[in-house]
Structure 1
Amino acid sequence: MNIDDFDDKEYKNHKENKNSQDDFEEVCYLCRRSESKVGKMIHIPNNITICSDCMQKTFDTINKGDNPYMKMMGFPPNMFHLSNEIPGMQKVKKKSEEKVTEEKEEFDRKKLPSPHIIKASLDEFIIGQEHAKKVISVAVYNHYKRIGADPVKDVEIEKSNMLMIGPTGSGKTYLVKTLARLLNVPLAITDATSLTEAGYIGDDVESVISKLLQAAGNDVKKAERGIVFIDEIDKIAKKRNTNSRDVSGESVQQGLLQLLEGSDVEVPVGASSKNAMVPMTTVNTKNILFICGGAFPDLDKIIKSRLNKQSSIGFKADLKDKYDEDMNLLQKVTVDDLREYGMIPEFLGRLPILYSLEMLTKEMLVKVLMEPKNAILKQYQSLLAMDEVELVFDPEALEAIAEKALEKKTGARALRAILEDIMLDIMYEIPKDDNIGRVIITRDYIEGKGGPVIEMRGIGKHKVIAANN
């Protein structure tokens, strides 16, 4: 078509349409990957584009004589749910050159903060756990040094995989989340309770890497230097006194061995399960940092039993109840204790860094309420500040909240539930009166013996809200 055939208005519209089309690139009808990732698309009738990988998989499926998918040769338009599709076009927005360059940028070791800087950043969000923060800072620093440095001749530096033990609510998951956010690396958090041996109902161990690939935006290079946190790792301990097959215990530990050490894993792209119509990609786990965490209930009994073996009759004998009141008994854990708990030696050998978190004390819980950047009290104070009301907690009130949390024995998790209950009436009543200027939470209000102190603007103090029942 010649330009002479258009008048000025038509030519302008044609140019605008062409420019808008250039802002998009084609995507595969089946796997939804863009042309920049999979190469040139194959065009078939009905304006459908398919990448060469999916086309080959389709042919492989059709060539099976007894397959149930012969209907797919017609490619019905409603065969798959299409997301992010622009009406009338099977295309997606092209990424800008800046973003593409940014994604392809290699890992720079010089930008990695040193251990003391990593720990100082963690200190802003996490109270206590000084030993744990120091261990994880050094381990992560050494791990990413290993990735970014040129290989040393005749020296192979092994991975710094970690096993983190701590009571519930001590901050295991929050510690890893904060670390990944500070380092700006992909993080996948998975639960070991859903993992089973291949062939049984549940998730295969490869699903751990699938989640990491999704967290990295299906960028394999980015995923290969990410962090995987496997929570509830104590749930895959060997089952005792069972006559059935242990498909979610020792067999899962065996399946994780190659992932922890480093191997090539075939994982689906853009899906959580493998099937014939989903393209696969290979992810190498050699440079992926694995952090396993668990509460390990009843592990303290094994530790106590080992420590009490020396107890006997005599002047140097230990008392059998010596460790009954030790809140941080998990700090004395050894590899032998974990083996007796049900973790196999091969699995523990691939987690060379072992450390424990402390049980939160009353003083630590008070600090958790007040000091972190995103402390719970600061959140409530910000909410009331939007109504131009100042929220103040008496020091004794904070101690009362911490005491209630200790009774629940769920660590820092209990603080939010207690505060939600305490603040319910206040958050409900305060917006009714624009004259309220300050709310002071007292110990009596926490214990249900009175109400909070309300200060009206320019008037004085009086209590107006009844105590919780």
Structure 2
Amino acid sequence: MQDNKDNNNVNDIDNKNADNSTDTSTTEKKDEYEKVCYVCHRTESRAGKMINMGNNIYICPDCMQRSFDAIYNSGINYDDMMKNIPGMGNIPGMNGFMSGDMNDNISQKQKIKKKNNKDDKDKKEDIDLKNIPAPHVIKEMLDQYVVGQEHAKKVMSVAVYNHYKRVACKDTDVEIEKSNMLMIGPTGSGKTYLVKTLAKLLSVPLAIADATSLTEAGYIGDDIESVVSKLLAAADNDVERAEHGIIFIDEIDKIAKKKETRSRDVSGESVQQGMLKLLEGSDIEVPVGATSKNAMVPLVTVNTKNILFICGGAFPDLEDIIKERLNHQGSIGFTADLKDKYDNDSNLCQQVTVDDLRNYGMIPEFLGRLPVVFALESLTKPMLIEIMREPKNAILKQYEKLLELDEVKLEFDDAALNAIADKAMEKKTGARALRSIIEDYMLDIMYEIPKDNNIGKVVITGDYILKKGAPVIQMRGYETPLIESHE
């Protein structure tokens, strides 16, 4: 009997310890987020210590004082008013005020994580100089996913490595400037894919924004600060993690200065001027969970000093500006070049200069904050064939996996790959054309395969792509055409 009592006491102690551990864990989770005023939506770091009204409702001292001033100045009898409101009679504490859990109303998107205390020695820095991969390691990882673009991958690897070395080395006598990048390349050459792959390999938050929706503050469209708000959302509203992230602004050529316009250029030069402080590094107040400051959501301050900005754009008609400069240089004398010498040069953007970009419509102050400028190569036919089958998540491997789930083996012969690459070159949309072409020819096959469980292998031939024949279907040891010609 005594042993049973001792065991029960031990179990009670263990249960209490377990309850205490869960309580501390829940309180630690709650302490990760700042309290937000229910009236003005300011955070505790900006408005001061909050007053707990119960049911997870917090009000800052300023709003509380304004509320009492409004009540007393209006001549209303406060005691009578509180008695007539249901659930408000049990003051102090106002525990009955507004029944219901406010966690349902205050969404997770509007919760802001607190910054870590710099004096806390137990917490380690997220970025350690020893953990940053070297440029050749970054390029080797990019080679597994991206075909070609050797120069672009080398430039991005060095720029990212130097950027995170700059973030990690805080206590230095020499201040290292940011290495923001400007990426120029035709559509479908892999600009966005390079940045996505880079952020995935480095495990840092990434925000992809479109410059076409940005306008000057006060006009219809997204404010410039909305790109930082997207990065904050990608970092789960963790300000400290967001300040070490990457922002990729696509279609940057669409905010070029309009050459002939009589109206205010609110989506061109004005956006470039508004982005200057963003690229260089400053404290930006951004809304949490929204893209506009006018929304009734809390604001948080994000420092963009350690955020890496990568801008990309196709810059159509930039080749004409480069041709004009190159022809003007060699158009006089016995050694003058022909005017059509550069017409068939597909990689003419490789010779781009800052003067060419300024003539295109980018202001000098904007270009000065993007010191790393490089261009991507136009995709050739061999590169398109390699893109279809070489990378880890190549499009052919995706379709092979889809049919493998039906226990069917899929193969593409060399003639089929050449025919698909030729059709993609005609579309002039880069690697984006590959999926649409393959999807068109695989439609009938994906529809017919589940009809017969005896099908074991499908071979896509060049004649099928050229609409001169049918794919080869192998069924349990013999071959017979199951699908008719695509004509």
| 8 Å contact kept, 1:397–1:442 | yes
Q: 1:447 to 1:176 in 2, by over 3 A?
A: same
Deviates more, 1:143-152 or 1:319-328: 143-152
Distance 1:367 1:434 in 2: 32
| 8 Å contact kept, 1:224–1:284 | yes
Task: Tell me which residue corresponds to 1:43.
Answer: 52
| 8 Å contact kept, 1:58–1:277 | no
Q: Say whether 1:107 aligns with 2:127.
A: yes
Distance 1:128 1:101 in 2: 45
Task: Tell me which residue corresponds to 2:139.
Answer: 119
Distance 1:115 1:168 in 2: 26
| Secondary structure of the corresponding residue to residue 446 of structure 2 | helix
| TM score, norm. by length of structure 1 | 0.84
Task: Tell me which residue corresponds to 2:105.
Answer: 82
| Secondary structure of the corresponding residue to residue 162 of structure 2 | helix
Distance 1:102 1:380 in 2: 49
Q: 1:443 to 1:263 in 2, by over 3 A?
A: same
Q: 1:200 to 1:454 in 2, by over 3 A?
A: same
| Secondary structure of the corresponding residue to residue 435 of structure 2 | helix
Report how many residues are paired: 434
Task: Tell me which residue corresponds to 2:365.
Answer: 346
1:292 to 311, 316, 324: 311
2:222 to 203, 213, 222: 203
Task: Tell me which residue corresponds to 1:222.
Answer: 241
2:201 to 158, 171, 182: 182
CA shift at 1:106, angstroms? 3.2
CA shift at 1:272, angstroms? 2.8
Q: 1:463 to 1:83 in 2, by over 3 A?
A: farther
Task: Tell me which residue corresponds to 2:451.
Answer: 432
Q: 1:215 to 1:276 in 2, by over 3 A?
A: closer
Q: 1:448 to 1:60 in 2, by over 3 A?
A: farther
| Secondary structure of the corresponding residue to residue 424 of structure 1 | helix
Task: Tell me which residue corresponds to 2:481.
Answer: 463
CA shift at 1:310, angstroms? 3.7
CA shift at 1:187, angstroms? 0.6
Distance 2:405 2:471 in 1: 19
The runs of 5 or more residues in structure 1 that have no matched partner are 1-6, 66-72, 86-90, 92-99
Distance 1:160 1:341 in 2: 22
After superposition, give the CA deviation of every residue in 1:263-311 in whole Å (9 maximum; x if it has no partner). Answer: 1111123333224742222111111100000000111111111111145
| TM score, norm. by length of structure 2 | 0.81
CA shift at 1:50, angstroms? 2.8
The alignment-based identity, stated in percent, is: 65
Task: Tell me which residue corresponds to 1:138.
Answer: 158
Task: Tell me which residue corresponds to 2:388.
Answer: 369
Q: Say whether 1:128 aligns with 2:152.
A: no
Task: Tell me which residue corresponds to 1:315.
Answer: 334
Task: Tell me which residue corresponds to 2:167.
Answer: 147
The runs of 5 or more residues in structure 2 that have no matched partner are 1-7, 72-93, 112-119
Distance 2:132 2:176 in 1: 18
Q: Say whether 1:330 aligns with 2:349.
A: yes
CA shift at 1:262, angstroms? 0.7
Q: 1:59 to 1:338 in 2, by over 3 A?
A: farther
CA shift at 1:43, angstroms? 3.4
Letter in 1 for 2:486: N
| Secondary structure of the corresponding residue to residue 445 of structure 1 | helix
After superposition, give the CA deviation of every residue in 1:4-54 in whole Å (9 maximum; x if it has no partner). Answer: xxx99xx99x9798887666455868789999xx9987432xx5213455x
Letter in 2 for 1:338: L
Distance 1:427 1:129 in 2: 33
| Secondary structure of the corresponding residue to residue 305 of structure 2 | coil
| 8 Å contact kept, 2:57–2:102 | no
| 8 Å contact kept, 2:408–2:456 | yes
Q: 1:57 to 1:316 in 2, by over 3 A?
A: farther
Distance 1:102 1:362 in 2: 55
Distance 2:67 2:213 in 1: 30
After superposition, give the CA deviation of every residue in 1:342-366 in whole Å (9 maximum; x if it has no partner). Answer: 0000000000000000000000000
CA shift at 1:133, angstroms? 0.3
Letter in 2 for 1:422: Y
Task: Tell me which residue corresponds to 1:265.
Answer: 284
Distance 1:265 1:394 in 2: 55
Q: Say whether 1:242 aligns with 2:242.
A: no
| Secondary structure of the corresponding residue to residue 289 of structure 2 | coil
| 8 Å contact kept, 2:43–2:300 | no
Distance 1:233 1:392 in 2: 40
| 8 Å contact kept, 1:40–1:51 | no
Distance 1:83 1:413 in 2: 41
| 8 Å contact kept, 2:321–2:360 | yes
Larger Rg: 2
| Secondary structure of the corresponding residue to residue 227 of structure 2 | helix
Distance 1:119 1:170 in 2: 17
| 8 Å contact kept, 1:42–1:49 | no
After superposition, give the CA deviation of every residue in 1:92-125 in whole Å (9 maximum; x if it has no partner). Answer: xxxxxxxx99996432111000000000000000
After superposition, give the CA deviation of every residue in 1:135-187 in whole Å (9 maximum; x if it has no partner). Answer: 0000100111111124332x221100000000000000000000001111111
| 8 Å contact kept, 2:42–2:299 | no
Q: Say whether 1:255 aligns with 2:278.
A: no
Q: 1:63 to 1:351 in 2, by over 3 A?
A: farther
Matches within 5 A, 1:62-81: none
| 8 Å contact kept, 2:56–2:103 | no
Distance 1:121 1:107 in 2: 19
Deviates more, 1:302-311 or 1:183-192: 302-311
| Secondary structure of the corresponding residue to residue 393 of structure 2 | coil
Matches within 5 A, 1:349-428: 349-428=368-447
